[in-house]
Structure formats: C-alpha cells, structure tokens
Amino acid sequence: MTTLTDRPRTALLVIDVQNGVVRGAHDRDRVVATIAGLVDRARAADVPVVWVQHRSDDLPTDSEQWRIVPELTRRDDEPLVHKTYGDSFEDTDLEPVLAAARVGRLVVTGAQTDACVRSTLHGAFTRGYDATLVADAHTTEDLSAYGAPPPAQVIAHTNLYWSFQTAPGRTAGTVDAADVDFAA
C-alpha cells in the first residue's frame, strides 16, 4: 500500500538501541528482549533488519555508550545507518539502503520514543513509507524532571496517537510484537 512504487518489501528498523541511549530507559531489559525476538523473526522470514546508530557529543563514535547493546548482535550483511539527527532519514543513507532492498513498509522499534523513534516514524510516513510502530518494542528515559510525562505515559501516548495516523495511499498503526506479521 506504500506510495513508493515497486517497493513491496518490509524491513525491521532498530533505532538507537545503544548503551548510552537505553542505559536508564523505562523497562529496558524487556524492551531489548522484545527487539531481539523481532530481529530473530525478521531474519527467519528473510526480512531485512536495518540498524540505526546515533552519534553526538554524548555518544561519540566508537565509545562504549555509542555501541549497540550487547544483547543485540548486528550481522555484517545487515545495513548500519549512522545519524546525527532525530529523524533517521535526515542526512543519512537510510533512503538509498531501503530503496536498494525495495522496502516500502517499515516495522519500527527502538529508542527514544519521544525523540528519534517519533521523528523517524513521521519522516518515514511523509516520505511515502507505510510505518508500523511495535507498541511494546520502544522505550524512553524519564524526563519528568524537565516537565515531560513519566516514560510509561510517553510510550502509551505515542502508541495511541500513532494508531490513528492516516494519509493517502499509506498505512500506519501500532501492533504488539507478538502480532507482527512480516509477510503482510
């Protein structure tokens, strides 16, 4: 249903599941385990797994905090997209990577819910991709000291509003990991 022509494939997008990003994240271990299960299922279904890795002053390249968490292992043949902005498409090679794999539908997981995950969902959708958020496979840190709602509410709100996204010729929504259908 994507508006991108000749892009029938689905990809699993794993955004910023890095030591320094998820160190204090809400329900970290369960979310990482859920993502690991999705990675295994995607690989078994011959669905591309695309990894996104953020770098910044707080996440310098090759530092411990920059590395993907040890519970997740990227295969050498799986694309790794490096980014410096919230939207994983912005000033990266994500679009050419997806185009080469003929991907028009994204299944999105990762961190931070209210920053990079949210920005990437919107970036994908406005670029013509179908974008499904895995409701129980994204997380964020507690920023309530700065006026944000508690993390569980941020996650719930993102799941709620993304389940109602619509646009001509594209689909969006949320789904629990157990109900992800990589063949759809």
Distances (CA, A) of 133 to 6, 58, 76, 153, 163: 22, 26, 25, 16, 8
Query: Which position among 12, 116, 117, 131 bears the catalytic label?
Result: 116
What is the identity of the amino acid at 94? L
Q: Is 90 a catalytic residue?
A: no
Tokens representing 119? Answer: 């920005």
Task: Note the helical H segments in the chain.
Answer: 19-22, 28-44, 94-100, 118-126, 151-162
Asked if 63 contacts 107 with a C-beta cutoff of 8 angstroms, the reply is no
Q: Quick count: other Cβ atoms within 10 Å of Cβ 36? A: 17
**Residues designated catalytic:** 116
